[in-house]
Homo-oligomer: A and B are copies of this chain.
Amino acid sequence: MAPRNVFYAQSGGVTAVINATACGVIETARGSRRLGKVYAGRNGIIGALREELIDTSKESKATIAGLRYTPAGAFGSCRYKLANADDNRREYERLIEVFKAHDIGYFFYNGGGDSQDTANKVAEFSQAQNFPITCIGIPKTVDNDLPLTDCCPGFGSVAKYVAVSTREAGLDVASMAESSTKVFVLEVMGRHAGWIAAAAGLAKDSRNDPPHIILFPEIPFVRKDFLKKVKETVNKVGHCVIVASEGAQYKDGTFVADAGAKDVFGHTQLGGVAPTLVDMVKAEHGFKCHWSVADYLQRAARHVASKVDVKQAYAVGKAAVEFALVGKNAVLPIIVRDKKSKRYRWHIEDAPLSKVANVEKPLPRSYITKDGYGITAKGRAYLAPLIEGEDHPPYRNGLPAYVSLKGSMVRKKLPSFEMDG
């Protein structure tokens, strides 16, 4: 029997290291005679529905190796969640038609919780249809909110970016505080969980180091208490560095960012949590403030990636292919921390997709200090190893020499398809 082809796709918000996972998948698949070509979905599952398949066999060895140090999704990602098969039979049937047309026997889906749900649905549907395809999820998310796995590839690098930026901006505001800026606010990602904001806490080596205040979505925001803490910090340290989750919220669930003023038409103003907090601090204390919103910069920052994260991202891609080769199905590789080792050690195991899909792992309360504004020793012990090591990309003309693909498309064999979404 001729080896069957592999479908790989990237899904959801991209990261600094998701292409390292792609590199792990493709290099490992290329090394096996039992697998055919790796076709990558153009823009995730959308590429499968539209029969837009990138033929990775046309890419050079050097380009594929370069994916290891190239951020974002080289094949395009998507925000597209398949509905249940009962409500949306035609999309599932279309997937199977495309898989059949291109002799695809392996489905690798690289994403967060929603994507693992998609991978699981594809596995269930194809089993019910008796279509032989091996479905393997591959974890990825800067949010670090997947269950079972100790951490998620993508998180370590954003954590490192946030910790480094907090340290650097903290030195800046400390320099300026005597006669100018006294308060600095950095807004970071994390709509539902405070993992990323927590990582800023790694910048603090001693008591008066930044960050002085971290705002987590998990801890209800109390304006009066926050403003008091800012004042106390400025009095004691001379300045105050605040790292705020975009999802920081009041007890009733209103986002701090949404609680700002309305415009003349009654629309809530754009803003984000950083400028909203700065507005409060200025109004109450009159301190000069500066603020940053990291947004995409934080998750795309391959130039300051964590070496541990890059290794883990590659390893889950490699493991996914190895699982498929030994006949596992409807699973995903997870990262397991060796609890007994004093030094940080980890290895890969597998877990059932059904247990990962649509479950969010919150930041444990025990990682957050009692006052709600910092991280505990326990939180630090969890986070610190994940930002270990540097993995500088190559540079050319002063800029990271990220690779780009030829992106040769596989010739279509089917009529075009109208998506529902």
**Interface size bracket, A side:** 35 or more
Judged by a CB distance under 8 angstroms, whether A14 is at the interface is: yes
A165 on interface, CB distance cutoff 8 Å: yes
Closest to A274 in B: B293
Is the Cβ of A400 less than 8 Å from the Cβ of B292?
no
The interface bits of chain A over 254-288 (1 if a CB of B lies within 8 angstroms of the residue's CB, else 0) are: 00000011111000011110111011000000000
Within 8 A of B (CB), among A287-307: 290-297, 299-304, 306
The answer to whether A299 touches B172 (Cβ under 8 A) is yes
A130 to chain B, nearest CB (A): 31
A389 CA to B395 CA in the complex, in Å? Answer: 8
B303–A168 touching, CB < 8 Å? yes
A77 on the B face (CB < 8 A): yes
B residues in contact with A400, CB < 8 Å: 164, 167-168
Whether the pair B302, A77 counts as a contact (CB closer than 8 A) is no
A219 to B407, CA, bound (A): 37
Stretch at the interface among A57-65, A102-110, A175-183: A175-183
**Which of B179, B271, B387 touches A43 (beta carbons < 8 Å)?**
B179
Question: A176 near B79 (CB under 8 angstroms)?
Answer: yes
Interface residues in A195-244 (C-beta closer than 8 Å to B):
202-203
A271: contacting residue among B174, B176, B275, CB under 8 A? B275
A163 CB, min distance to chain B CBs, angstroms: 6
Copy number in this complex?
Answer: 2
Bound-complex Cα distance A270 to B291 (A): 11
CA distance A163 to B402 in the complex (A): 13
Looking at the assembled complex, report how far the CB atom of A68 sits from the nearest CB atom of chain B, in whole angstroms: 14
The reply to whether B303 and A292 contact each other, CB–CB distance below 8 Å, is: no
Residues in B with CB closer than 8 Å to A397 are: 202, 384, 387-388
CA separation between A202 and B399, bound complex, in Å? 9
Q: Report the nearest B residue to A177, measured CB to CB.
A: B76
A292→B290 contact, CB < 8 A: no
Taken together as a complex, chains A and B put the C-alpha atoms of A184 and B14 apart, in Å, by 14
5 contacts between A and B (CB under 8 A): A73-B176, A77-B175, A168-B297, A262-B263, A290-B296
Top 3 nearest A-B pairs by Cβ distance?
A: A73-B175, A261-B263, A72-B171
